[in-house]
């Protein structure tokens, strides 16, 4: 997190930047879609050797992985319980059994768990209805690339 402007202690980092994050997000999404479409076009419609730009693609990947690691995706207990059609107590027990650091006796629908915890639960529940729901959750919205 960035520090607030010391000359204006009541400002947030977003105010210091001058742009609303909700304006930046669509730009990121549009840029990513354009990049993926261009790479897909290179693969499908040309004989261009992607090895020529692999260092650049690795640089993008490294940057994105660092951002994801610094800001991991989290889920609230309430959201997961609803999505998985489980009561909170059962969900807590399942997460605890796969190594999540969670109090199985607590009741806190706003408590969060990380995507890593959810992936561990998927590995344990693969092939079950809960595992299928977890797979749908983690898969998210495309793109689904098949070559």
123-136 pLDDT, tens digit each: 999 999 999 999 99
**Helix, strand or coil, per DSSP, at residue 126:** coil
Mean pLDDT for the chain? 87
Tally the residues of the chain.
147
User: DSSP secondary-structure letter at 53?
Assistant: G
Does pTM top 0.75 for this prediction?
no
Whether the per-residue pLDDT at 84 is higher than 90: the answer is: yes
Task: Judge whether 128 and 139 are in contact, CB under 8 Å.
Answer: no
11 — pLDDT class (breaks 50, 70, 90): low
Rounded-to-integer distance, Cα 142 and Cα 32, Å: 12
pLDDT of the residue at 1: 42
């Amino acid at each position: 997190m960035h520090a607030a402007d010391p000359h204006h202690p009541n400002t947030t980092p977003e105010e210091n930047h001058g742009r609303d994050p909700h304006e930046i997000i669509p730009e990121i999404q549009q840029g990513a879609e354009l990049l993926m479409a261009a790479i897909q076009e290179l693969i499908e419609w040309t004989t261009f050797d992607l090895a020529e730009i692999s260092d650049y693609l690795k640089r993008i990947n490294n940057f994105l992985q660092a951002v994801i690691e610094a800001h991991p995706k989290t889920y609230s207990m309430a959201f997961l319980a609803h999505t998985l059609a489980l009561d909170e107590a059962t969900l807590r027990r399942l997460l605890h059994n796969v190594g999540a650091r969670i109090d199985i006796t607590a009741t806190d629908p706003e408590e969060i768990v990380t995507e890593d915890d959810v992936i561990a639960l998927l590995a344990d529940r693969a092939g079950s209805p809960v595992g299928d729901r977890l797979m749908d959750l983690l898969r998210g919205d495309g793109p689904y690339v098949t070559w």
